[in-house]
Amino acid sequence: MKRPHHRLLALACGALAAVVAVPGAAYAEPDPMKRIQSIHEELEKVSEQINGLKVKLKQAERAAKVASDNASRQKKALDVVAREVSGLAATSYMLGGTDQALILATTDQPQHFLDRTSTLSFFASQNGTKVSELLAAMQSAQRAEKAADDRAGQVRRLNTQLTERQDKLKKDYTQIRDKIVRKSPKSIVDIPPVPGAGKAAEALRLALTQLGKPYVWGADGPDSYDCSGLTMWAYAKVGIHLPHYTGSQWNAGAHVGLAELQPGDLVFFYSDLHHVGLYIGDGQMVHAPQTGDVVKIAPIGGRPFAGGVRVA
């Protein structure tokens, strides 16, 4: 007959064996679809942040050039006045070494002499003030140039950090992509008719001609696109320039609500506006969705709608 503690030990071992025998009972395998969606969401955010930094870098570089040009102009102006002051000082020194009364008594042009000495005194005083002003202006311009250069450097460093993060996310994405990504160019539907003759309608028609082309981060056509690259390309074709950044495109026109949307309006999603498409009508849009997918028509209800923008 087994002792009580032996019976308890046997029951515990049996329970442990049952747990071990059921795969996944204790530790659930991570859902690859949820993981890939999470990676894509972060990738799209990072990619649009990088697009935004490219815009800001151009602005910072332009500001640095303007500041540098201004500093150069102030320096040249200061050099001119400095030479004038040096010449006046030399002339004043030479005149000061001669008896002024003797010169006045012997000169055959006394008024010219008086005018000259008076002018020297006046310009010496005026140029002294001018030198101080120009020196202050040049120093201010140099400070502005340094501030603009520093800003451009900060943007470059942040861009490097985000690019490194983007590369890491791409690597993670690639490792599980084949498990869940469906190649779906055959999912393209017939191009729907687009009413209207305005630029927005024409931009929409052009975007629809790109159905089936692959999504690629940072791409703006004509072979591949990311979300803001597609909208930028379509509107550029009708003569309207949009920055390659959802944050800037959000401010490119008048904001409209869901019920006011018209064909060709830009439609934005998520609180940080990191995804954009072109509204078709009947709750549908054309957009470049994500890596492994293609430019396609999709319902706007599949993502949290942030608002619309009427560009033209």
User: Would residue 13 show up in a list of annotated catalytic residues for this protein?
Assistant: no
pLDDT category at 18 given cuts 50, 70, 90 is very low
Q: What is the pLDDT of residue 78?
A: 65
Q: What is the pLDDT of residue 187?
A: 43
Per-residue pLDDT reduced to its tens digit, 158-180: 778 878 887 787 777 766 655 54
User: Would residue 40 show up in a list of annotated catalytic residues for this protein?
Assistant: no
Are 170 and 42 a contacting pair, CB within 8 Å? no
Annotated catalytic residue within 40, 227, 244, 274 = 227
Q: Residues 235, 237, 240, 245: is their CA dihedral positive or negative? A: positive
Mean pLDDT, rounded, for 17-30: 44
In 10 A of CB 209, how many CB atoms? 14
Burial 266-301 (b: 16+ CB within 10 A, else e): bbbbbeebbbbbbbbbeebbbbbbbbbbbbbbbebe
Peptide bond into 222 cis (omega under 30): yes
Per-residue pLDDT reduced to its tens digit, 172-211: 776 665 554 444 444 445 677 887 789 999 999 999 999 9
User: For 181-226, where are the alpha helices, taking DSSP H only?
Assistant: 199-208
Per-residue pLDDT reduced to its tens digit, 46-76: 778 888 888 888 887 888 788 778 777 777 7
Domain boundaries, the chain: 32-180, 185-310
Mean pLDDT, rounded, for 146-158: 80
Annotated catalytic residue within 40, 244, 274, 275 = 275
User: What are the distances in angstroms from CA 10 to CA 3, 6, 175, 210?
Assistant: 11, 6, 44, 68
Mean pLDDT, rounded, for 139-157: 78
The CATH number of the domain covering residues in 185-310 = 3.90.1720.10
- Least reliable range by pLDDT among 46-50, 113-117, 254-258, 262-266: 113-117
Are 231 and 242 a contacting pair, CB within 8 Å? yes
pLDDT at 98 over 50: no
CATH topology (fold) of 32-180:
Helix Hairpins (1.10.287)
Per-residue pLDDT reduced to its tens digit, 84-93: 655 555 555 4
User: Would residue 255 show up in a list of annotated catalytic residues for this protein?
Assistant: no
- The three-class DSSP label of residue 126 is helix
Render 53-67 in DSSP notation, one character per residue. HHHHHHHHHHHHHHH
